[in-house]
Amino acid sequence: MNKTAFITLIAAGAQESMRATGVPASFTIAQAALESAWGESGLTKSAMNLFGIKADKGWKGPTVTIPTREYVDGKWVTVPALWRKYLSWAECLTDHAQFFIVNKRYAPAFKHTDNAEQFAIAIADAGYATDPQYSAKVIATIRSNNLTTFDKLEKKA
């Protein structure tokens, strides 16, 4: 799927999530693009999981096991992982923001709902991914695709 088509498919859901939760739409779109390889990853295709959200002990929904690469002790290793499985991208988008809200370690990010780049840094600092370059990659995706335009919502009358 090309980048424009991917952005078009999830932009409205990302903006709706932003209205409801404060998570910047540009961050949501960039993170989905990065985690799902623009909608083409095996996890996205088999589990509708755009964000690489693992199925932790508290997850009550369906799951799928797929190998992943993790950065451990200074090197990349492949390990099996249990992932959340969704019925649709819309369901995944809704769960994405809730994941950040219910996991208190991400609370500092919500001080930056008006700045997607700072939000990305806070999410990475809280341990979202093992990749030491994670926030830089999300920020680069935001910038290279001009995604902050999706953070500007029209005021509802």
> Residues with catalytic annotation?
70, 95
> Amino acid identity of 32?
A
Q: What are the residue ranges of helices labelled H in 22-88?
A: 25-36, 42-47
Helix-helix angle 116-125:25-36, to 10 degrees: 50
Long-range CB contacts for residues 67-75, cutoff 8 Å, separation at least 24 = 70/130, 71/130, 71/131, 71/132, 72/130
